[in-house]
Amino acid sequence: MPPIPNHIPQASPYWPYYTEQERRNILDHPIEDATIEITLIRSLIAGFLCTTSTRPITDPDLSLQSLYAVSVASSTIANLIKYQREYQHTHPKYEKELEAAYHRARIKLGIYRQMYEAGFAVPDDLPPGTLDPLPPDPPYIPPTTITP
């Protein structure tokens, strides 16, 4: 499998799941148009949903993982649409300011930490502590066990 090109914004975690022809199509597609990858991710989601509608997932853990995977894929589609819209409509004069604002937002919202934990590359110039893991959530106590 060819490596994911770093200079192509369309390349995503879904790269390994595309056929060789689909990869060539993405690489030959204009860099400012993410339509082809949006369509491919939608087809992956549709194929998954068709499979699970005929053979439902009975394992609760696998069901949650599947729901998470579809959610991430849907979020990726939304980000690609946002990227494409901004690429086509943003005045070049503001590109550096927008990227700096996105960078600050990703730090503040913990996006870089999530990316790092998932194994994705993150910028080298992050403030100390940005990638530190969050403390574990407190244990869940059902409401019926709480006494006044």
* Exposed / middle / buried, residue 12 (Cβ in 10 Å: 0-12, 13-18, 19+): buried
pLDDT in tens, the chain (148 residues): 555 555 554 456 777 777 888 877 777 777 667 777 788 888 888 888 888 888 888 888 888 888 888 888 888 888 888 877 776 666 667 778 878 888 998 888 888 888 888 888 888 889 888 888 888 878 877 777 666 6
- 3-state per-residue secondary structure call for 78-98: HHHHHHHHHHHHCCHHHHHHH
Chain position carrying tokens 């106590």: 141
